[in-house]
């Protein structure tokens, strides 16, 4: 018998604690120095254990990267929020705990979400990243994403640029 140490699977209620902790560490490491400190602190404070318990109870479409039984990363996805877009699917969030980055696991999560969107018959895929998030932009370009749209996102009194990457 072989046991997969790493797998992409739908989230379970009991993942809430690991997801809350993965979320906090991943967002802090990705956005410290990009998103103003106070805005980032507020975002982190809003998304604690209770938020995750509610999200799982609501059955938010969410896949986790299970590493040895722990949720070391997650991806959320659904119908694209971009009006009149030829890209019907969207990845809303894709985050790995920093310890697990750079090992090919982000690509596994991305592929899992892409497959689910295809099963939902949503054609094409879009994902937004802050332009200053060099690592995420490099990752999406490496996976074949094409920059198709730009926008801005407000954090307190500053606005940061963001870019949408798309796949047919
Ligand atoms: C972005 C993220 C999901 C990528 O996951 P990952 O597991 O680190 O990336 P992978 O190891 O699966 O990399 C897949 C490919 O992208 C490339 N890649 C990943 N990060 C890269 C970077 N910073 N620069 C250049 N290439 C990169 C890898 O080299 C690999 O290509 P290869 O097969 O040719 O070697 C992960 O680093 C992460 O969670 N970062 C913080 C959160 C974040 O920014 N999320 C995105 C918000 S929009």
Please count the structural domains in the chain: 1
Q: What is the CATH number of the domain that holds 88?
A: 3.40.630.30
Mutational test site, ligand 1, from 30, 94, 135, max ligand atoms within 8 Å of CB: 135
151 in a structural domain: yes
Boundaries of domain holding 46? 6-167
**Residue 110 domain-assigned (yes or no):** yes
- Ligand 1 center from residue 128 Cα (angstroms): 14
Q: 82 CA to middle of ligand 1, Å?
A: 24
Rounded CA-CA distance 88/106 in Å is 21
Confidence of residue 85 (pLDDT cuts 50, 70, 90): confident
Whether 101 is covered by a domain: the verdict is: yes
* Res 107: pLDDT: 98
Q: Distance (Å, rounded) from C-alpha 82 to C-alpha 161? A: 16
pLDDT, one tens digit per residue, over 126-163 is 999 999 999 999 999 999 999 999 999 999 999 999 99
Q: Which of 163, 90, 165, 75 is nearest to 123 (CA)?
A: 90
- Distance separating alpha carbons of residues 130 and 152, to the nearest angstrom: 9
Has residue 75 been placed in a domain? yes
Tell if the pTM clears 0.85, that is, is over it.
yes
Per-residue pLDDT at 20 exceeds 90: yes
**Residue 82: what pLDDT?**
81
145 in any annotated domain: yes
Residue 1 lies in a domain: no
Ligand 1: lining residues by beta carbon, under 6 Å: 26, 30, 94-96, 101-107, 129, 133, 135-136, 138-139, 142
């Amino acid at each position: 018998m072989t046991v997969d140490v790493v797998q992409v699977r739908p989230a379970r209620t009991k993942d809430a604690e690991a997801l809350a902790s993965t979320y906090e560490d991943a967002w802090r490491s990705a956005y410290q120095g990009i998103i103003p400190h106070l805005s980032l602190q507020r975002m982190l404070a809003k998304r604690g254990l209770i938020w995750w318990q509610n999200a799982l109870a609501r059955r938010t479409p969410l896949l986790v990267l299970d590493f040895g039984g722990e949720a070391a990363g997650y991806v959320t996805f659904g119908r694209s929020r971009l009006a009149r877009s030829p890209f019907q699917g969207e990845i809303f969030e894709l985050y790995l705990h920093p310890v697990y980055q750079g090992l090919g696991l982000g690509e596994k999560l991305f592929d899992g979400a892409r497959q689910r969107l295809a099963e939902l018959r949503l054609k094409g895929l879009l994902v937004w990243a802050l332009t200053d998030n060099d690592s995420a932009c490099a990752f999406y370009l490496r996976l074949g994403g094409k920059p198709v749209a730009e926008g801005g996102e407000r954090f307190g009194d500053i606005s940061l640029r963001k870019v949408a990457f798309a796949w047919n």
